[in-house]
Amino acid sequence: MTQSPLEPLILRLAVPAIVSNLVTVTYNMADTWFIGRLGTSQSGAVGVAFSVMTIMQAIGFFFGQGGGNSLSRELGKRNEERASRLLSVAFFGSVGFGVLLGVLGLLVLQPLVHGLGATDTIAPYAVQYLTPLLVATPCVTGSFTMNGLLRFQGLSAYSMIGLVTGAILNIALAPALIFGAGLGIFGAGLATAICQTISFTILTVMCVKVGVVRLSPRWFQPDMLLIREMIGGGLPSLLRNGVGSV
């Protein structure tokens, strides 16, 4: 912002975000249509799984927004070392919480889906759909986090590439696994898990290759001030998105 004209800069940052949201909405509509062709119980299972997926997104947004807000301020101060620490803490924190959430979810999956309102006819389909997603939880949370961290570095176009690639692949892969391979609703969950993993990989590689700041395990150096900054920036997003799972 200190070097570029404001109007072109706003367009350069906003257009990729708009495209990403439009493609994501299109993917969600297509995925819902594919699953709807399997039957009403399968459609109900996706509704049950939505709460769990929303929690994954909320954790990803927490680290992406919390780390990204502070990261952008440190970049404005030309403090690249602290910005690298914020980036690394947000990234590894998101993946770490994703591992914990995935393991916990798999351990209590049966009572979890019943607790979320699944009937005896819907519960087996909800378990099938959620199992591959819970295995891929670190990639799901990490994907949402890296999306935010790239945007806060002014790299919205690279963020768009990662998200759009995953969404387009999902639109192609879901029917192939659901109907072509005969995997049904498990295939829908598997397709989403695979494509989220691909998106996460693309976003992480781009952050390492073209990111303004450095992502490395050696920069994973959390301290109380950094954690407070991250909570202050990410808690509103966590609460806002977490309420959607209730």
Task: Count CA atoms closer than 13 A to 194's CA, side-chain side.
Answer: 15
Q: What is the pLDDT of residues 191-214, one digit of tens each?
A: 999 999 999 999 999 988 888 888
Structural domain includes residue 3? no
Structural domain includes residue 164? yes
Structural domain includes residue 168? yes
Q: What is the pLDDT of residues 133-150, one digit of tens each?
A: 999 999 999 999 998 899
Q: What is the pLDDT of residues 95-122, one digit of tens each?
A: 999 999 999 999 999 999 999 989 999 9
Full domain range(s) for residue 197 = 10-245
Domain count, the chain: 1
> Which of the two residues, 35 and 233, has the higher pLDDT score?
35
Structural domain includes residue 5? no
- Per the confidence metrics, is the pTM higher than 0.75? yes
- Among candidate residues 225, 209, 44, the one with its CA nearest the CA of residue 127: 44
DSSP structure class, residue 219: G
Structural domain includes residue 235? yes
Tell me the C-alpha distance between 196 and 166, whole Å: 6
DSSP structure class, residue 177: I
